[in-house]
């Protein structure tokens, strides 16, 4: 008997609702044995009691077929994925004048995180809140273009940066400081310093919400933010396809390790709807729905692929500025904004 043998056997156990197995999901934490007695310990984040129950049963079914094993003990440690282990993150502090800070994150690029951040911020502002939006993606800033703002920020008498205002929001982005063709070429420590300046040395004033548009991944900038700024929570953006969901789980895991609650998932590019009303699920169907269920967090919205969303980002007029009663994309962003506010 070897650990590799037991892991290969456990690969037969699928996570409920998925085609992937519990080993590839990283749920198997410990395998040990003594004589003919085998012990397996799993760790699962879910609020659905049916999931660990099904996995427990399936593990016993496959492990009892292992040669020379007479006794099988499967231990499952079930954790609440949104439990707040501490009222604030260790070492983090608030930004003066800002009531709530929400991070919008994704595990990988290209899932529409900046589009979601922009429209979520606009929807919150249109619901009567005072909102700021900080573009923390130094290497690929896009907020300036999405809001049609070309001004250069000025400084006040205290040498704090005065944010740009557009569509009722206060904005800060590296895109305001550079030309469109100028790349940001900085190493980690300098990127961390810029991020701190955008958060601490900008005259945000009195805000109900400050939305942070994080870069993709789990690198220096993300760690700087979660370790130094007290976040209300994080919104994870993903597409329905498995390759995006894999990276989204890494982002969820990062926030969980630093006691930042997950406010919910937003599934972007959920489907394309043709003129005849038929929906085409170009990136798979309901991947974000299943993942939200697995994690035990809310699914805040499913955003379809619609030309007005792209057009709004290109012209500096986010689609959330439209009437949500007449525009389905705007309605989805408004629903997500109400869920996090």
**pLDDT of 209-267, one tens digit each?**
999 999 888 777 888 888 788 899 999 999 999 888 888 888 888 888 778 889 999 99
Residues 227 and 276 in one domain: yes
Q: Report the pLDDT value the prediction gives residue 86, as an integer from 0 to 100.
A: 39
Average pLDDT, whole number, for the chain? Answer: 87
Residues 115 and 243 in one domain: yes
* Residue 53 forms part of a structural domain: yes
Give per-residue pLDDT as tens, 111-170: 999 999 999 999 999 999 999 999 998 888 889 999 999 889 999 888 899 999 999 999
Give DSSP secondary structure letters for 118-158: HHHHHHHHHTT--EEEEE--SSS--HHHHTT--PPPEE-TT
pTM: 0.74
Between 189 and 146, where is the model more confident? Answer: 146
Domain CATH number, residue 202? 3.40.50.300
Q: Give the whole-angstrom CA distance, residue 10 versus residue 176.
A: 52
Give per-residue pLDDT as tens, 67-112: 888 899 999 999 876 543 334 455 566 899 999 999 999 988 889 9
Q: What's the token pair of residue 338?
A: 């109400």
Residues 251 and 293 in one domain: yes
Overall average pLDDT of the 196-203 stretch: 91
- Residue 17: pLDDT above 90? no
Percent of the chain with pLDDT over 90: 48
3-state secondary structure of 302: strand
* Residue 89 forms part of a structural domain: no
Q: Report the pLDDT value the prediction gives residue 15, as an integer from 0 to 100.
A: 87
Spatial neighbors of 72 by CB under 8 A, at least 6 apart, are: 37, 38, 40, 59, 60, 63, 64
DSSP state of 175: G
Overall average pLDDT of the 267-294 stretch: 88
DSSP state of 76: E
Q: Give the whole-angstrom CA distance, residue 118 versus residue 141.
A: 12
Give the 3-state secondary structure percentages of the chain, helix then strand then coil, rounded to 5: 35, 25, 40
Q: Report the pLDDT value the prediction gives residue 84, as an integer from 0 to 100.
A: 38
Residue that terminates a domain, selected from 79, 113, 131: 79
The structural domain count of the chain equals 2
Residue 66 domain boundaries:
3-79
């Amino acid at each position: 008997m070897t650990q590799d043998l037991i892991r290969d056997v456990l690969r037969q156990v699928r996570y409920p609702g998925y085609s992937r197995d519990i080993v590839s999901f990283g749920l198997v934490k410990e395998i040990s044995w003594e004589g003919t007695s085998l012990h397996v310990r799993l760790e699962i984040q879910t609020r659905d009691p049916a999931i660990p129950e099904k996995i427990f049963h399936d593990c016993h079914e496959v492990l009892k077929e292992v040669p020379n094993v007479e006794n099988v003990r499967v231990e499952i440690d079930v954790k609440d994925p949104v439990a707040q282990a501490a009222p604030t993150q260790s070492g983090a502090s608030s930004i003066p004048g800002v009531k709530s800070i929400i991070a919008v994150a994704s595990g990988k690029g290209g899932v529409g995180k900046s589009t979601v951040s922009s429209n979520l911020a606009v929807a919150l502002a249109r619901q009567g809140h005072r909102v700021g939006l900080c573009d923390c993606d130094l290497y690929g800033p896009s907020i300036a273009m999405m809001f049609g703002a070309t001004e250069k920020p000025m400084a006040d008498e205290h040498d704090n940066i005065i944010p740009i205002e557009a569509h009722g929001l206060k904005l800060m982005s590296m895109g305001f400081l550079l030309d469109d063709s100028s790349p940001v070429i900085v190493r980690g420590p300098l990127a961390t310093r810029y991020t701190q300046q955008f958060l601490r040395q900008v005259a945000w004033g009195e805000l109900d919400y400050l939305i942070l548009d994080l870069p993709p991944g789990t690198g220096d900038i993300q760690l700087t933010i979660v370790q130094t700024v007290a976040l209300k929570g994080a919104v994870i953006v993903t597409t329905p396809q498995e390759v995006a969901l894999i990276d989204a789980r890494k982002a969820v895991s990062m926030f969980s390790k630093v006691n930042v609650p997950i406010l919910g998932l937003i599934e972007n590019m959920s489907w394309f709807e043709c003129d005849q009303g038929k929906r085409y699920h170009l990136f798979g169907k309901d991947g974000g729905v299943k993942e939200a269920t697995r994690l035990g967090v809310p699914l805040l919205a499913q955003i379809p692929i619609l030309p007005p969303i792209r057009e709004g980002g290109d012209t500096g007029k986010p689609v959330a500025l439209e009437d949500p009663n007449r525009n389905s994309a705007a309605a989805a962003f408004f629903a997500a904004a109400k869920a996090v506010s």
